[in-house]
Amino acid sequence: MTNTTTKKIAQKWRQDLLDLKERVKQKQLNTEQALMTAQKLKKDNKEKSVKPNFDIQNAHIQLCDTLEQASKILDEYRIDSVPLTTTTFNILISLSPDQTTATSYFNKLLNLGLKPNTYTLNGFLAYCKTVEEGRELIRSMNKYEVKPNTQTYNALLSLTNNDNQRAEIITAMEDQGIEINLVTFNTLISRSTTFKSAVNYYQDLKLRNIKPTINTFITLLKKATTKSEINQTEQLLKDESIKTNNNWDRLHNNKKYGC
């Protein structure tokens, strides 16, 4: 088998793993089924004398729901001397059950001479309980020559408890030229303290030409407390011609008949 053929098979192997991840995301497979298929791919490709690389390794452990699953799979890849990368540790940090475990992986990353990136530091935002703790973490990124991104600030927004904090974060994103996306606005709406402020965020979303999804309207509907607010949300949804789903229908019925 030529090097070109082997490379193509390896690329397909990785793509097959990424496709499995997408199928899990779309709820076409559960994690157990995906992991079983991934192990079969590994067995079949190794029988073709195709050695796994770190991209394949990382795509494989991204299928995992637990640190235990990922650790077991990584042990198997050690047999093939597949190197660990920053992405490997980012996945392990995201799967860590607590900050102590996540920090231990961060230290291992550094000890191996690997450089953390934005996603490495973003993983620690899950352990922050206040906006100030989150801001302190973002300031610490300078130490590692890392810059925050949209995901960083979306996570920070999830820690806010008032409109002033949210306004400051949006301004910081704009000042740094960081993209404000749909997740940003869904988070803003979900953190809103009133239906009025939630609608204001929705209107800002529209002004920025960001297309809402049914999840945007579900989040907005959660803020509605009166029939008038429910009707307003229904009209906004109708204006967008977006199809509803079971989550919307269930929430809508509970809201509508609960008022």
Final residue before a domain boundary, out of 179, 199, 219: 179
- Please, which residues have CB within 8 angstroms of residue 140's CB and are 6 or more apart in sequence? 121
Say yes or no: 168 and 196 in one domain. no
215 and 185 belong to one structural domain:
yes
- What value does the mean pLDDT take over residues 90-114? 97
Distance CA 142, CA 118 (A): 10
Amino acid at 12: K
Structural domain boundaries enclosing 163: 120-179
pLDDT above 70 (res 1) = no
Domain C-terminal end among 151, 179, 207: 179
Say how far apart CA 150 and CA 201 lie, in whole Å. 17
- Which has the minimum average pLDDT: 3-7, 183-187, 225-229, 242-246? 3-7
Q: Is residue 233 part of a domain?
A: yes
Determine, yes or no, domain membership for 41.
no
Measured CA to CA in angstroms, residue 182 lies from 188, 189, 242 at distances of 10, 11, 15
Instruction: Give Cα 253 to chain centroid, integer Å.
Output: 29
Asked if residue 104 has pLDDT above 80, the reply is yes
Residues 77 and 107 in one domain: yes
In this structure, is residue 210 part of a structural domain? Answer: yes
> Looking at the structure, do residues 144 and 187 belong to the same domain, yes or no?
no
How many domains does the chain fold into?
Answer: 3
Q: How do residues 78-97 score in pLDDT, each as one tens digit?
A: 999 999 999 999 999 999 99
Residue type, 235: Q
> Quick one: pLDDT at residue 5?
85
Note if the pTM is more than 0.75: yes
Q: Is residue 83 in some structural domain?
A: yes
Rounded distance, CA 143 to CA 122, Å? 14
Domain boundary among 137, 157, 179: 179
In the prediction, which pLDDT does 3 show?
Answer: 76
